[in-house]
């Protein structure tokens, strides 16, 4: 019995090949994969999305909403598909949406957009690296042309440079339209680096990544200069509905904010808010995003003020929200349906989807923060969650 996973070089994306591989799994592990094999889409859709396809994970989707969003791209009431296996998550976000709706909805604003690749160029000494850096700055137009020749959509906005010893980390910042853009920018940056290597009047050696992308990783750098989209969700929470729906006062929320800030600052945390990762992950799975980008996307900065009338201004900024509505997993069956529910499938929709993500995150922040103060956090998990003793 070979241990080699069966593949068909001629056409590997068929129900038959998937079945063969599930059979292979059964032979090697004794597990039948009955449910995994009962997917409903055509495997011919899958090239570019997966290799060695065997079936599909079915992740339950709950419906939250409506959420009233007053963005530039997302406007109106949205019903939000959230794919998760964590009890209370949908209910909690739902509660937050109700509060936001009663306060006039959530405003959302996209501040900027960049996707990065960061090659590192290596030289003999720091002086050579510095001179190279100046040359790059002087030849930016041609480097841009080389990069943009590989893409219809991507635009190279600027190259940040970070010098360490004889190294020059270059961080290429692109706008990438409605694609998340990691591959697009990888290809463009490679072309740019090859152009540089061919034209720089001196020896060059480069790595396509010097680990400053920082792809699939949280970093302070991402927070500072934006990876993906920098999106703000903000609302003025009125005292009355907050008290009625969640049982707490705005002054309590603001006092708690001071405590939370110390905790996040001292811990060296990626987010001084509560749980952006929860809402984003549920949206990402449902809507065909690259879920690994939760690593970057969950970062956030909460800024709030208690207003003189006792209402509570609350904002969360997601500095590195990475989403796409085109390419990647967005054309797959359930993923496409979920994007369509939000009016977010295809070209021209990524900004809208990003705003929805941010609005959902703020809803979740209100609900969990209030639950922590009110003391019903654990109780609700007891009631709705799989609390294992």
Report the site for a second copy in 227-256 (rule: CB under 8 A): 230, 232, 234, 255-256
CB of 365 to a second copy, least distance (A): 12
Closer CB to a second copy, 125 or 141, in the complex: 125
Q: Identify residues 362-381 at the interface with a second copy (CB under 8 A).
A: 372-373, 375, 377-378, 381
Q: Identify residues 89-108 at the interface with a second copy (CB under 8 A).
A: 89-91, 94, 107
Our finding on whether 286 is near a second copy (CB under 8 A) is yes
The piece of 135-143, 195-203, 238-246, 275-283 that touches a second copy (CB under 8 A) is 275-283
Q: Identify residues 27-86 at the interface with a second copy (CB under 8 A).
A: 28-29, 31-36, 38-41, 46-66, 72, 77, 79, 81, 83-86
Question: Quick check: 310 and 251 in contact, CB under 8 A?
Answer: yes
Closer CB to a second copy, 86 or 139, in the complex: 86
Give SS3 for 112: strand
Could you tell me the two tokens for 220?
A: 């302070």
Nearest-angstrom CA–CA distance, 247 and 239? 10
How far from 144 is each of 136, 183, 287, 363, CA to CA, in Å? 10, 17, 32, 40
Catalytic residue at 298? Answer: no
Catalytic residue at 86? Answer: yes
N-terminal to C-terminal alpha carbon distance within the chain: 43
Of the residues 213, 215, 290, 311, which is catalytic?
290
Nearest in space to 351 (alpha carbons), one of 235, 214, 230, 234: 230
Q: Draw the binding track, 309-328, toward a second copy (x: CB under 8 A; -: no contact).
A: ----x-xxx-x------xxx
Give SS3 for 118: coil
Residues found in the chain = 389
Closer CB to a second copy, 41 or 200, in the complex: 41
Q: Identify residues 169-208 at the interface with a second copy (CB under 8 A).
A: 169, 179, 181, 183-184, 186-187, 190, 207-208
CA dihedral angle for residue 345, residue 348, residue 353, residue 355, rounded to 10 degrees: -160
CB-CB neighbours of 140 under 10 Å: 13
Report the catalytic residues: 86, 290, 381
């Amino acid at each position: 019995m070979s241990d080699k996973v069966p593949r068909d070089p001629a056409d590997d994306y068929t129900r038959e090949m998937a079945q063969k591989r599930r059979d292979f799994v059964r032979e090697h592990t004794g597990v039948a994969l009955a449910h995994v094999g009962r997917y409903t889409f055509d495997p011919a859709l899958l090239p570019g999305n997966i290799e060695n396809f065997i079936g599909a994970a079915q992740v339950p989707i709950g419906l939250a909403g409506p959420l009233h969003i007053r963005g530039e791209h997302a406007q109106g009431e949205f019903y939000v598909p959230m794919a998760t296996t964590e009890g209370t998550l949908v209910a909690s976000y739902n509660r937050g949406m109700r509060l936001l709706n009663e306060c006039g909805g959530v405003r959302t604003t996209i501040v900027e957009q960049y996707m990065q690749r960061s090659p590192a160029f290596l030289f003999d000494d720091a002086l050579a690296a510095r001179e190279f850096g100046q040359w790059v700055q002087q030849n930016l137009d041609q480097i841009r042309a080389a990069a943009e020749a590989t893409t219809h959509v991507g635009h190279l906005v600027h190259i940040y440079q970070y010098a360490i010893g004889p190294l020059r980390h270059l961080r290429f910042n692109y706008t990438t339209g409605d694609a998340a853009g990691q591959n697009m920018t990888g290809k463009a940056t490679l072309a740019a680096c090859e152009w540089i290597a061919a034209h720089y009047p001196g020896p060059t050696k480069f790595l396509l990544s010097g680990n400053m992308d920082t792809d699939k990783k949280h970093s302070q750098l991402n927070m500072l200069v934006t990876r993906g989209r920098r999106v703000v969700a903000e609302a003025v929470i009125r005292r009355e509905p907050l008290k009625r729906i969640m049982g707490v006062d705005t002054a309590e929320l603001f006092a708690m904010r001071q405590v939370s800030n110390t905790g996040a600052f001292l811990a060296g945390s990626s987010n001084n808010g509560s749980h952006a990762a929860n809402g984003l992950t549920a949206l990402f799975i449902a809507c065909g995003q690259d879920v690994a980008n939760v690593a970057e996307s969950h970062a956030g900065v909460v800024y709030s003020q208690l207003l003189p009338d006792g209402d509570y201004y609350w904002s969360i900024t997601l500095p590195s929200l990475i989403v796409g509505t085109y390419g990647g997993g967005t054309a797959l069956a359930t993923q496409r349906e979920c994007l369509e529910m939000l009016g977010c499938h295809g070209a021209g929709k990524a900004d809208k989807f990003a705003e929805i993500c941010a609005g959902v995150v703020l809803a979740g922040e209100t609900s969990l923060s209030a639950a922590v103060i009110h003391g019903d956090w654990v109780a609700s998990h007891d009631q709705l969650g799989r609390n294992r003793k």
